[in-house]
């Protein structure tokens, strides 16, 4: 029952349509008139059951705000003091949401940890009172129930609080988080969502009555940890302190390994649970609220909350609804990207043509889509029938048949300007006038692709990230000629594909590739200076990158990396200097293209989890070895040489207007490139870490290496004026 809020609120817990009851003894006083109008919470009495309805006005979700707390306490006090009421049902009248956790605005408006601690203590009081309720309270949960919301419904969530991961309703029932599931209803004589909530309420009322009449007994009279599906034997084992110490240690180890110590919350939660179990619940509560207060004030918390807000913003179409909704999509090229784009389209019900030039290539792409869907069947998030229905939204073909009905064509052919020109001309010969032509490219300027177009206002860039079905980001690139409606259409399709979207201006490397390339250049330089790929990987992951730098080159593909580095190197000259492209060239000539060819810096084998270094790389690395400079080659310096180049380039993109907002820069960096989420993205990082410190580092490296480290003007401005922040 301890602090799951901090992380819980950032992730989704979808214990949809679940029910939970906790039964207690009855106490009675006089009953006051119940029908006072409150803002967030109201209740009515049916028989002897109070039905408490939560509905925060003007919001899609209910969040645990201070007003909601106080109203809830008022209502509960009335419920407890009424002699007529013997049990209560707690339900949200918002379809699809019970309580979505703590109100982030509320937390954000706090300036000190004491304030947050106080809020947390008030919430605790509420949860404690609810837990010790003298009358049975049944929480009827329909839809997302996150963080504190979960605590209202379910005062014992052990696994939840550590991972903050989403749990489906049926799984929640198995874990014992909820007692009963109510399946959503279909149409009746009123809208299904409405009737489902009514039905949930009816079922909850019968349960509340049953609990009050002692006809039903909740199966959980055990303490905190026991509810977490333990057998009697293990629960006996847990009563031995030594065993408990071992478990704490084990859990801590696991958490440390997963978070690399970069996210303070999970470890603190373990501390709090430990305090609660070893020193009693009061000490636990106190420790919880204090820790929560401290955590809310950490940089990590600010960065993550900022990221959460940014993500919400990038899930909206600020260009408005397109004139014509895309119903028929066509994807050119059934490679990794093309098939990925097709997959995220067909599973949202979008009719999609997948075109390639040869049957084997097309078949490979179709199989990729099928496998992507089938994996979800194996994970039981899809039924085989749903998979089949989705898969039949996909039409594979080798010609342009049906393109005359396409509303949007996304080309994902090889990164070769001539080829892109060819397919654009081929497509334009058959597609209708309103059809958008989108190019999925990571570096070729969209303007150059559009030069051969008859209708450049319909040409746009849609830069997906690999693997498309896993990576959330979509970078949309507009040229000066791209019309607003074309942009609106592209954003609309991207949102339907479930993407988080940033819209940037055209230019070499757009935003994401452009930020990554100088960092990659530095990666090569660092490798040349004798830092091994494994060491480099561990330095980058311990800084918070999800994938190590050397592994990233392997994943992207050495040939792609070289292609991009060359192109952008020509454009940006010395600012992209650093490592020698010769390394990539030699790797390509030896066939070390990264994961796709089985060899890169590492050796990749099917079914082998721990990858080994590719020993054939030694000679290449030796032949290109450069001396390292000791004063800028400490572990920390290596990390910052990589990160500051990334950050500097990101800020330059904002300075040059490639980026419209810092938010998009942060979202693009975190969701597309794996910039450490605990830092909140390059712009949050500058705000929280301090522009001056970053400039100082850049100057130090500039002195050692040259102009590639020269801080951009906007960053210098921020350093010179500490009041200047990207986020106010």
Partner 1 sequence: MAPHSSTLAWKIPWTEEPDFRMISLLTYTLKNLPNTSKWALRFCMRPLSSSSQLQAAAASQTKSKKTLAKPNIRNIVVVDGVRTPFLLSGTSYKDLMPHDLARAALSGLLHRTSVPKDVVDYIIFGTVIQEVKTSNVAREAALGAGFSDKTPAHTVTMACISSNQAMTTAVGLIASGQCDVVVAGGVELMSDIPIRHSRKMRKMMLDLNKAKTLAQRLSIISKFRLNFLSPELPAVSEFSTSETMGHSADRLAAAFAISREEQDEYALRSHSLAKKAQDEGLLSDVVPFKVPGRDTVTQDNGIRPSSLDQMAKLKPAFIKPYGTVTAANSSFLTDGASAVLIMAEEKALAMGYKPKAYLRDFMYVSQDPKDQLLLGPTYATPKVLEKAGLTMNDIDVFEFHEAFSGQILANLKAMDSDWFAQNYMGRKAKVGLPPLEKFNNWGGSLSLGHPFGATGCRLVMAAANRLRKEGGQYGLVAACAAGGQGHAMIVEAYPK
**Helix H or strand E segment including 555:** helix 549-556
Query: Under the criterion CB under 8 A, does residue 180 sit at the interface with partner 1?
Result: yes
Taking the C-alpha atoms of residue 156 and residue 176, their distance in angstroms, rounded to an integer, is 9
* 191 vs 320, beta carbon nearer partner 1: 191
Query: Under the criterion CB under 8 A, does residue 392 sit at the interface with partner 1?
Result: no
Rounded-to-10 torsion of CA 103, 109, 112, 116: -20
CB of 205: closest distance to partner 1 in angstroms? 10
**Binding residue for partner 1 (CB under 8 A) from 207, 592, 683, 685?**
207
**Binding residue for partner 1 (CB under 8 A) from 381, 383, 612, 713?**
383
CB of 206: closest distance to partner 1 in angstroms? 6
- Nearest by Cα to 147 from 5, 333, 37: 5
- Nearest by Cα to 560 from 528, 529, 510, 600: 600
Query: Under the criterion CB under 8 A, does residue 44 sit at the interface with partner 1?
Result: no
* 181 vs 283, beta carbon nearer partner 1: 181
Report the DSSP pairing between strands 459-464 and 473-478. Answer: antiparallel
How far is the CA of 498 from the CAs of 319, 325, 345, 374, 475, in angstroms? 17, 16, 9, 19, 13
Max CA-CA distance within the chain? Answer: 88
Region binding partner 1 by CB under 8 A among candidate stretches 140-148, 188-196, 256-264, 281-289: 188-196
Taking the C-alpha atoms of residue 422 and residue 700, their distance in angstroms, rounded to an integer, is 47
CB of 21: closest distance to partner 1 in angstroms? 12
* 206 vs 317, beta carbon nearer partner 1: 206
Sheet holding 87-92: strands in order across?
Answer: 41-46, 49-54, 87-92, 137-141, 18-22, 180-181
* 79 vs 204, beta carbon nearer partner 1: 204
Region binding partner 1 by CB under 8 A among candidate stretches 196-204, 319-327, 506-514, 576-584: 196-204
Rounded-to-10 torsion of CA 626, 631, 632, 636: 130
Taking the C-alpha atoms of residue 221 and residue 219, their distance in angstroms, rounded to an integer, is 6
HSE, side-chain direction, 13 A CA sphere, residue 203: 22
CB of 140: closest distance to partner 1 in angstroms? 12
**Binding residue for partner 1 (CB under 8 A) from 12, 195, 596, 700?**
195
**Helix H or strand E segment including 44:** strand 41-46
**Binding residue for partner 1 (CB under 8 A) from 206, 235, 259, 692?**
206
Q: Would you list the DSSP string of 427-489?
A: HHHHS-TT-EEEE--SSS-HHHHHTT-S-GGGEEEEEE-SSTTT--EEEEEE-SS--HHHHHH
* 206 vs 311, beta carbon nearer partner 1: 206
Residue with the two structure tokens 């605990």: 678
* 188 vs 363, beta carbon nearer partner 1: 188
**Binding residue for partner 1 (CB under 8 A) from 45, 73, 110, 203?**
203
Query: Under the criterion CB under 8 A, does residue 199 sit at the interface with partner 1?
Result: yes
Sheet holding 328-332: strands in order across?
Answer: 394-397, 351-355, 328-332, 408-411, 436-439, 459-464, 473-478, 500-505
Catalytic site residue 198? no
CB of 185: closest distance to partner 1 in angstroms? 4
In the three-class reduction of DSSP (H, G, I as helix; E, B as strand; rest coil), residue 42 is classed as strand
* 208 vs 584, beta carbon nearer partner 1: 208
CB of 219: closest distance to partner 1 in angstroms? 12
Report the DSSP pairing between strands 473-478 and 500-505. Answer: parallel
Give the active site residue among 71, 475, 555, 664.
Answer: 475
CB of 192: closest distance to partner 1 in angstroms? 7
**Binding residue for partner 1 (CB under 8 A) from 47, 241, 261, 573?**
47
CA triplet 440, 446, 450: central angle to 5 degrees? 110
Taking the C-alpha atoms of residue 55 and residue 39, their distance in angstroms, rounded to an integer, is 8
Query: Under the criterion CB under 8 A, does residue 382 sit at the interface with partner 1?
Result: no
Q: 648 to 707, contacts with partner 1 by CB under 8 A?
A: none
Query: Under the criterion CB under 8 A, does residue 193 sit at the interface with partner 1?
Result: no
CA triplet 498, 166, 109: central angle to 5 degrees? 85
Query: Under the criterion CB under 8 A, does residue 379 sit at the interface with partner 1?
Result: no
Query: Under the criterion CB under 8 A, does residue 198 sit at the interface with partner 1?
Result: yes
Query: Under the criterion CB under 8 A, does residue 190 sit at the interface with partner 1?
Result: yes
Query: Under the criterion CB under 8 A, does residue 385 sit at the interface with partner 1?
Result: yes
* 81 vs 206, beta carbon nearer partner 1: 206
Query: Under the criterion CB under 8 A, does residue 183 sit at the interface with partner 1?
Result: yes
Region binding partner 1 by CB under 8 A among candidate stretches 117-125, 182-190, 355-363, 667-675: 182-190
**Helix H or strand E segment including 253:** helix 241-259
Region binding partner 1 by CB under 8 A among candidate stretches 30-38, 194-202, 278-286, 707-715: 194-202
Query: Under the criterion CB under 8 A, does residue 402 sit at the interface with partner 1?
Result: no
Query: Under the criterion CB under 8 A, does residue 186 sit at the interface with partner 1?
Result: yes
Give the length of the chain.
728
Region binding partner 1 by CB under 8 A among candidate stretches 86-94, 135-143, 192-200, 408-416: 192-200
Query: Under the criterion CB under 8 A, does residue 608 sit at the interface with partner 1?
Result: no
Residue 144 is encoded by which pair of tokens?
A: 């997302």
Query: Under the criterion CB under 8 A, does residue 320 sit at the interface with partner 1?
Result: no
Query: Under the criterion CB under 8 A, does residue 188 sit at the interface with partner 1?
Result: yes
Taking the C-alpha atoms of residue 229 and residue 108, their distance in angstroms, rounded to an integer, is 36
* 387 vs 697, beta carbon nearer partner 1: 387
Catalytic positions, written as ranges = 475
Residues that bind partner 1 (CB under 8 A): 47, 180, 183, 185-192, 195, 198-199, 203, 206-207, 383, 385
């Amino acid at each position: 029952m301890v602090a799951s809020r901090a992380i819980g609120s950032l992730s989704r817990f979808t214990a949809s349509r679940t029910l939970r009851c906790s039964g207690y003894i009855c106490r009675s006083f006089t009953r006051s008139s119940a029908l006072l109008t409150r803002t967030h919470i109201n209740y009515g009495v049916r028989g002897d059951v109070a039905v408490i309805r939560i509905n925060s006005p003007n919001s899609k979700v209910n969040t645990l705000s201070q007003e909601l707390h106080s109203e809830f306490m008022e209502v509960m006090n009335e419920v407890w003091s009424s002699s007529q009421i013997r049990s209560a049902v707690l339900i949200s009248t918002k379809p699809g949401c019970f309580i979505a956790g703590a109100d982030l605005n509320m937390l954000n408006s706090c300036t000190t940890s004491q304030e947050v601690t106080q809020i947390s203590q008030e919430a605790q009081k509420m949860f404690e009172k609810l837990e010790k309720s003298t009358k049975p309270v049944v929480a009827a949960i329909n839809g997302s129930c996150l963080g504190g919301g979960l605590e209202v419904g379910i005062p014992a969530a052990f696994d939840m609080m550590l991972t903050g991961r989403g749990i489906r309703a049926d799984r929640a029932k198995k874990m014992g988080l909820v007692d009963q599931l109510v399946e959503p209803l279909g149409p009746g004589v009123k809208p299904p969502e409405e009737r489902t909530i009514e039905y949930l309420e009816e079922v909850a009322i019968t349960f509340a009555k049953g609990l009050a009449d002692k006809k039903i007994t909740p199966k959980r009279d055990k303490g905190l940890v026991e509810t977490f599906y333990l057998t009697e034997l293990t629960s006996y084992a847990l009563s031995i302190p030594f065993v408990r110490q071992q478990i704490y240690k084990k859990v801590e180890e696991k958490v440390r390994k997963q978070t690399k110590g970069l996210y303070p919350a999970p470890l603190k939660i373990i501390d709090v649970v430990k305090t609660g179990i070893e020193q009693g619940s009061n000490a636990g509560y106190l420790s919880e609220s204090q820790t929560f207060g401290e955590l809310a004030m950490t940089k990590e918390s600010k960065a993550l909350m900022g990221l959460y807000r940014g993500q919400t913003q990038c899930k909206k179409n600020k260009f408005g609804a397109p004139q014509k909704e895309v119903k028929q999509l066509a994807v050119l090229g059934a490679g990794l990207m093309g098939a990925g784009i097709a997959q995220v389209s067909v599973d949202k019900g979008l009719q999609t043509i997948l075109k390639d030039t040869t049957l084997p290539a097309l078949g490979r792409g179709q199989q990729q889509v099928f496998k992507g869907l089938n994996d979800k069947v194996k994970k039981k998030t899809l039924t085989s029938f749903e998979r089949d229905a989705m898969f039949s939204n996909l039409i594979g073909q080798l010609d342009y048949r049906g393109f005359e009905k396409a509303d949007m064509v996304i080309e994902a052919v090889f990164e070769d300007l001539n080829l892109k020109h060819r397919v654009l001309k081929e497509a334009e010969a058959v597609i209708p006038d309103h059809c958008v032509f989108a190019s999925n490219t990571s570096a070729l300027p969209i303007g150059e692709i559009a030069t051969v177009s008859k209708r450049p206002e319909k040409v746009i860039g849609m830069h997906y990230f690999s693997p498309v079905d896993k990576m959330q980001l979509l970078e949309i690139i507009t040229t000066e000629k791209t019309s607003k409606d074309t942009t609106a259409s592209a954003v609309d399709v991207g949102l339907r594909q479930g993407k988080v979207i940033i819209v940037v201006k055209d230019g070499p490397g757009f935003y994401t590739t452009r930020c990554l390339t100088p960092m990659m250049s530095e990666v090569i330089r660092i490798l040349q200076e004798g830092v091994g790929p494994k060491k480099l990987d561990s330095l980058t992951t311990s800084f918070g990158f999800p994938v190590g730098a050397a592994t990233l080159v392997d994943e992207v593909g050495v040939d792609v990396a070289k292609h991009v580095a060359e192109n952008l190197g020509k454009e940006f000259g010395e600012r992209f200097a650093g490592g020698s492209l010769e390394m990539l060239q030699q790797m390509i000539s030896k066939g070390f293209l990264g994961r796709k060819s089985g060899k890169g810096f590492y050796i990749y084998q099917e079914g082998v989890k721990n990858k080994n270094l590719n020993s054939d790389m030694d000679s290449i690395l030796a032949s290109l070895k450069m001396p390292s400079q000791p004063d800028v080659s400490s572990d920390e310096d290596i990390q910052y040489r990589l990160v500051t180049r990334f950050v500097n380039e990101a800020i330059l993109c904002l300075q040059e207007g490639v980026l419209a907002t810092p938010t998009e820069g942060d979202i693009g960096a975190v969701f597309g490139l794996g910039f450490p989420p605990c830092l909140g993205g390059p712009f949050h990082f500058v705000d929280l870490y301090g522009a001056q410190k970053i400039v100082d580092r850049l100057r130090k490296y500039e002195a050692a290496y040259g102009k590639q480290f020269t801080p951009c003007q906007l960053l210098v401005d921020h350093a010179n004026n500490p009041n200047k922040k990207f986020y106010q």
